[in-house]
Amino acid sequence: MASSSSSLPLLTLFLLSTLLYTTSGTGTTSTGSDACSTSPDTGSTLRIIHAFGPCSPLRPAVPFPSWADFLTDQTERDTTRLLFLNSLATTGTGKSFVPVASGKQLLQIPNYIVRGRLGTPSQNLLLAFDTSNDAAWMPCTGCTGCPAGSTWFNPTTSTSYRPVPCGSPQCSQAPSPTCYPRANSCSFNFSYAASSFEAGLGQDSLSLASDTVSSYTFGCLQKVVGNSIPPQGLLGLGRGPLSFLTQSKSIYGSTFSYCLPSFKSLNFSGTLRLGTYGQPKRIKSTPLLLNPHRSSLYYVKMTGIKVGRRTVAIPPSSLAFDTTTGAGTVIDSGTMFTQLVRPAYEAMRLEFRRQVNAPVTSLGGFDTCYNGPVKYPAITLLFQGMQVTLPEDNVMIHSTAGTISCLAMAAAPEGVNAVLNVIANMQQQNHRILFDVPNSRVGFARELCT
């Protein structure tokens, strides 16, 4: 690989240079108010903000030294996220013991956040939403080891906050619940490699857009040991008993959709739509698969991949759904680039390179890159009952000058017992993704989100 000084111009990838951060010559972050002004949350529709985008209050105060550094950071997050998802798939529990790189976020919180209000009077919070998690937790005042941040929840000032008692159904549903001697309230612990946190289980009123979920059960973080966690809370949109989807079933009918904006968007704002109202009437869909041991994950049956008009010869075992091993394909909102088990990725990559028929180079975590103008074949993901042909912006990453482009997919990391194919958020962008749990389906429809 070339030296950092010579490779830096190549590393100003489109993904990161189109206003993930808008930097001036002094290196400070600049976001115009016009670019960030959007309509407020209304009804049951919430604005989605990219956690690292120019309009996010969570963006780093000091930008990364280069777009290459940001790209490296994101691909490392994806690697750790994949370890986390595979741990869920292979263990089938909320107890994940997966290596976490130094300084990385506990639980690998996903990239997209929404605004919410918790308590009485309400306290404004930022919540990362995660389709592969059931947990809900908030950093709370008095927490030992929690990061400093502006979105802590103070339960002592909320007149509607109630601790969840020991012996309650919610306590038994929490991961590793604990009731200490002489304690009347339930706590739970979550371990993640050398990191762990302890949270008190509580209930309070959670408001999203115009709706309120009464007696919402969540973990109030009390102690964190190990790697730091991000300042925002977590809104789990999985299918487990303590997920937001289950707790709000009477309001939203276990149905939601989102549209994630393209990385070309100025303000990284899409929408999260809760409930059946306003969802697409005509949408292609594929059945949801239920794995009773891994209820948090949205499994679907991927039957193949087409590159151009040719169906790739992928070993059937690489796409098989197996409730025992946890293998299969999941739709995930928290991984940035689609990750395939190695035999599936290598077969797809081989056919892609064959059809492009141009010299291949590598760049960062991407192993299929091209210099100069190249005609790229379409990639179509084949699912039971539907197929999704991805536009080029969902498949290729382009440098700022357009001189280099990379296939924005990857194989599972070496040395990982990976069993999951993860359809990630870059490949989902500018689609309305519908999660219709009562009818056991996931739908895809093209929609431009800005």
pLDDT tens across 343-385, in order? Answer: 999 999 999 999 999 999 987 778 999 998 899 999 999 999 9
Confidence of residue 212 (pLDDT cuts 50, 70, 90): very high
Active site residue 332: yes
Does any domain span residue 388?
Answer: yes
Mean pLDDT of 191-219: 86
More confident residue, 329 or 105: 329
Q: How far apart are the first and last CA of the chain?
A: 36
Q: Are 131 and 238 in contact (CB under 8 A)?
A: yes
Residue 324 inside a domain? The answer is: yes
Per-residue model confidence (pLDDT) at position 386: 97
For residue 411, pLDDT beyond 60: yes
Catalytic residue among 41, 78, 134, 332: 332
CATH code, 404:
2.40.70.10
Structurally, how many domains does the chain consist of? 1
**CA 9/CA 87 separation, integer angstroms:** 37
pLDDT in tens, 231-284: 678 888 998 889 999 999 999 999 999 998 766 555 556 899 999 999 998 899
Q: What is the mean pLDDT of residues 198-222?
A: 94
Is residue 102 classed as helix, strand or coil in its secondary structure?
coil
pLDDT band at 227 (very low <50, low <70, confident <90, very high): low
In this predicted structure, what is the pLDDT of residue 387?
97
What pLDDT was estimated at residue 336? 83
- Tokens of residue 359, six digits: 């010299």
Judged by average pLDDT, the poorest of 150-164, 195-209, 226-240, 369-383 is: 226-240
pLDDT of the residue at 184: 80
Please give the pLDDT value at position 10. Answer: 32
The reported pTM is 0.84
Q: Which of 14, 4, 78, 6 is nearest to 263 (CA)?
A: 14
Domain that holds residue 274: 45-87+109-446
Domain assignment present for residue 17? The answer is: no
Tally the residues of the chain.
450
Active-site residue identified among 78, 130, 367, 436: 130
* pLDDT beyond 70 at 228: no
Q: Using CA atoms, how far apart are residues 19 and 54, in angstroms rounded to an integer?
A: 6
Average pLDDT of the segment spanning 435-440:
96
Banded pLDDT at 32 (limits 50, 70, 90): very low
- pLDDT at residue number 229: 60
Taking alpha carbons only, the member of 274, 221, 278, 268 closest to residue 106 is 221
Summarised one tens digit per residue, pLDDT across range 391-401 is 898 999 877 66
**Per-residue pLDDT, 346:** 97
**pLDDT band at residue 175 under the 50/70/90 scheme:** confident
Residue 92: inside a domain: no
If one counts every other C-beta atom within 10 angstroms of the C-beta of residue 277, the result is: 12
Q: What gap in Å lies between CA 414 and CA 1, rounded to an integer?
A: 20
pLDDT band at 287 (very low <50, low <70, confident <90, very high): very high
The whole-angstrom separation of Cα 427 and Cα 135 is 25
In a domain, 20, yes or no: no
CA 217 – CA 203 distance, rounded (Å): 4
Residue 104 lies in a domain: no
Q: Does the pLDDT at position 46 exceed 90?
A: no
The residue with greater pLDDT, 51 or 159, is 159
> Is 24 inside a domain boundary?
no
- Of the ranges 179-183, 321-325, 427-431, which one carries the lowest mean pLDDT score? 179-183
Is residue 379 in some structural domain? yes
Q: If you write DSSP's letter for every residue of 126-185 in order, what string do you get? A: EEEEETT---EEEEEEEEESPPP-S--B-GGG-TT-EEPBTTSHHHHHSSSEE--TT--B
Q: Which of 65-69, 204-208, 241-245 has the highest average model confidence (pLDDT)?
A: 204-208
Indicate whether 94 pLDDT > 70: no
pLDDT (0 to 100) of residue 383: 98
Q: Kindly state the DSSP code that residue 24 receives in the 8-state scheme.
A: -
Backbone dihedral region of 254: left (phi > 0), alpha (psi from -120 to 50 degrees) or beta? left
Our answer to whether residue 204 is catalytic in this structure is no
Over residues 110-120, mean pLDDT: 86
